């Protein structure tokens, strides 16, 4: 389904469909039908009631507008849903109506419905994240030797490789995906506890019904109901927050590299993407903007969810009522960021020539550290630092290359010959352990389940 205009930068169409009104309604009805089936197998309700409930649990029979308005009055969508379902069943089988929602409470329905929607959302997000990782892996391999400016505090610094930069992006993204996967695995559990979490309404068969219900819905059956213990969902939302931040970091870097005065990389081109309503020449970082928007929103959602964790006794007032929009917004924001980063990673255009030009444009001042280290052994650190500070200042003010200035300083030429001074400006000679760190990060992202993929 199309994303609502107000959410057009906050979700993908598949995720918008998952969290649509009809999908939420279907998830709640799935709970009710699965509950009836689980109870029937244990002889708690008759099979005829199951058939009547399943036949009535048709989303088309529900007026979503009425359900929404009634939810505001009831404080939960589960109450008007159950009432409507009971009426629908009663119209066909009066006896079966007494077994609708049997032993459950309203929070069981809404919590489990949310979990069912999250279960559907996980593979969509994971797929995009895996595509992004593969794109970044290829980018790192293709540019393992492409030198570029390192930048600290947004200023030019000694050189790095684009391969190392991409590997660092990949490593953080990979760690974030693994955390998200683990948190999903922990959070996809059934909620079924009845009024106060004891399932007293169905006697001593509560645990068996819970297990049967979990099996019906394809969820994990927890050790006990978790009405006011929201730690699993909190961990998931926090994982979204960390991952969104890591994706935002990638987007921030790419958008800075796309600035005209930098011009070292650009997002992939496609029809209708990145243009301006008034400036035909513009190629805006659209994917970065969407990702950064998500990274901006999610921390607030994390804080909101954590605030709602402090819930009273066995069933809370207000805490869990706040969660649906918070959780769904966090998950959709993470999903749209993942889709955007995947598109960027798979199609990032790199201008390696411009990277070289930007290295040269510094006048070689980025190699001052390298020269200082060589001279420290001869002059001591303080004297070497003083000389290089003076040389760098002169290179900038005189618009000359640092090596030229150094070649005219007797304190330098006394210890470094012309060839050594000239070699100072070779970026490839001052990359340190960049390639080792690049390879180590790539290795760390390979799945241990696929040892054949690992490199020697």
Known catalytic residues?
A: 276, 315
Residue listed under structure tokens 């969810």:
305
Helix ranges, 42-158 (H)? 47-56, 64-74, 78-90, 94-97, 106-142
CA distance 77 to 390: 72
261: its two tokens: 């005065």
Count CB-CB contacts under 10 A for residue 445.
19
Q: Which residues contact 64 (CB under 8 A, 6 or more apart)?
A: 21, 22, 25
CA distance 443 to 456: 10
Distance, first Cα to last Cα, the chain: 47
- Give the per-residue SS3 of 391-405: HHHHHHHCCCCHHHH
Count CB-CB contacts under 10 A for residue 349.
11
Classify residue 73 by burial, with Cβ atoms within 10 Å: 0-12, 13-18, 19+: exposed
CA angle at 403 for the pair 401 and 408, rounded to the nearest 5°: 105
Longest alpha-carbon distance in the chain = 104
161: its two tokens: 């490789």
Q: Which residues contact 242 (CB under 8 A, 6 or more apart)?
A: 176, 179
- CA quadruple 420, 425, 428, 429: dihedral positive or negative? positive
CA distance 1 to 10: 14
CA distance 371 to 368: 5
Helix ranges, 258-351 (H)? 286-307, 323-347
- One DSSP character per residue, 143-165 reads TTT-EEEEEETTEEEEEEEHHHH
The length of the chain is: 456
Residue listed under structure tokens 């066909």:
92
Contact 148, 225 (CB under 8 A): no
């Amino acid at each position: 389904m199309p994303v609502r205009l107000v959410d057009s930068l906050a979700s993908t169409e598949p995720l918008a469909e998952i969290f649509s009104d009809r999908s939420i309604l279907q998830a709640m009805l799935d709970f009710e039908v699965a509950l009836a089936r689980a109870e029937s197998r244990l002889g708690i309700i008759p099979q005829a009631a199951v058939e009547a409930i399943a036949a009535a649990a048709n989303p088309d029979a529900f007026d979503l507008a009425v359900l929404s308005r009634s939810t505001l009055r009831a404080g939960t969508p589960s109450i008007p849903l159950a009432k409507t379902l009971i009426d629908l069943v009663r119209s066909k089988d009066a006896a079966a109506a007494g077994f609708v929602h049997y032993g459950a409470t309203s929070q069981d329905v809404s919590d489990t419905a949310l979990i069912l929607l999250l279960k559907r959302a996980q593979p969509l997000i994971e797929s995009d994240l895996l595509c992004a990782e593969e794109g970044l892996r290829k980018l790192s391999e293709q540019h393992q030797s492409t030198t570029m400016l390192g930048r600290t505090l947004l200023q030019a610094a000694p050189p790095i490789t684009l391969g190392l930069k991409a590997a660092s992006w990949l490593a953080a993204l990979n760690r974030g995906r693994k955390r998200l996967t683990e948190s999903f695995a922990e959070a996809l559990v059934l909620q079924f506890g009845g009024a106060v979490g004891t399932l007293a309404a169905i006697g001593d068969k509560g645990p068996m019904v819970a297990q049967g219900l979990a099996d019906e819905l394809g969820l994990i059956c927890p050790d006990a109901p978790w009405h006011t213990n929201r730690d699993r969902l909190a961990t998931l939302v926090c994982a979204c927050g960390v991952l969104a931040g890591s994706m935002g970091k990638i987007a921030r870097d790419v958008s800075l590299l796309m600035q005209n005065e930098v011009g070292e990389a650009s997002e992939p081109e496609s029809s209708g993407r990145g243009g301006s309503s008034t400036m035909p020449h513009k190629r805006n970082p659209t994917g970065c903007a969407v990702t950064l928007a998500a990274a901006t929103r999610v921390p607030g959602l994390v804080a909101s969810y954590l605030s709602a964790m402090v819930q009273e006794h066995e069933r809370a007032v207000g805490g869990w009522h706040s969660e649906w929009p918070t959780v769904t917004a966090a998950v959709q924001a993470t999903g749209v960021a993942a889709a955007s980063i995947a598109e960027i990673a798979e199609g990032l255009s790199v201008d390696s020539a411009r990277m070289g030009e930007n290295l040269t444009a510094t006048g070689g001042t980025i190699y001052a550290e390298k020269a200082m280290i060589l001279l420290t052994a001869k002059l001591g650190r303080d004297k070497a630092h003083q000389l290089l500070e003076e040389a760098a200042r002169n290179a900038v003010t005189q618009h000359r290359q640092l090596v030229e200035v150094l070649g005219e300083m007797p304190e330098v030429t006394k210890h470094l010959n012309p060839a050594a001074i000239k070699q100072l400006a070779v970026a490839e000679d001052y990359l340190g352990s960049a390639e080792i760190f690049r390879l180590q990060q790539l290795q760390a992202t390979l799945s241990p389940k696929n040892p054949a993929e690992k490199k020697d």
